[in-house]
Amino acid sequence: MNPMVGIGAGIAVVAGLGAGIGIGIATGHTAEAISRQPEASGKIQSVFFLGIALAESTAIYGFVISILLILQR
């Protein structure tokens, strides 16, 4: 295996780090928003879940790219 492939796969996995940080920040702000306006918790949670799905999709995309780089021949 070419060592550059391993480096590229490692860089692609770093996308998961950004997604984790983004989800953590979103969770904190969601908890703060619900504590300030409990009556709007339904709307806040729906936007929160949409944001989590988008952040997680970038992590999954980076993971898939790293697997494809490692398994290429």
Whether the CA torsion 21, 6, 8, 57 is positive or negative: it is negative
Residue 34: domain span: 3-71
Separation CA 8–CA 31 (nearest Å): 36
| Prediction pTM value | 0.73
pLDDT digits (tens, 9 = 90+) for 6-45: 888 888 888 888 888 989 999 999 999 999 999 999 999 9
pLDDT at 7: 85
How many domains does the chain divide into?
Answer: 1
Read off the CATH number of the domain in which 55 is found: 1.20.20.10
pLDDT digits (tens, 9 = 90+) for 59-71: 898 888 888 888 8
Q: Residue 1 pLDDT more than 80?
A: no
Q: Residue 49 pLDDT more than 80?
A: yes
Collect contacts of 23-29 with beta carbons under 8 A, ≥24 apart.
Answer: 23/52, 23/55, 23/56, 26/51, 26/52, 26/55
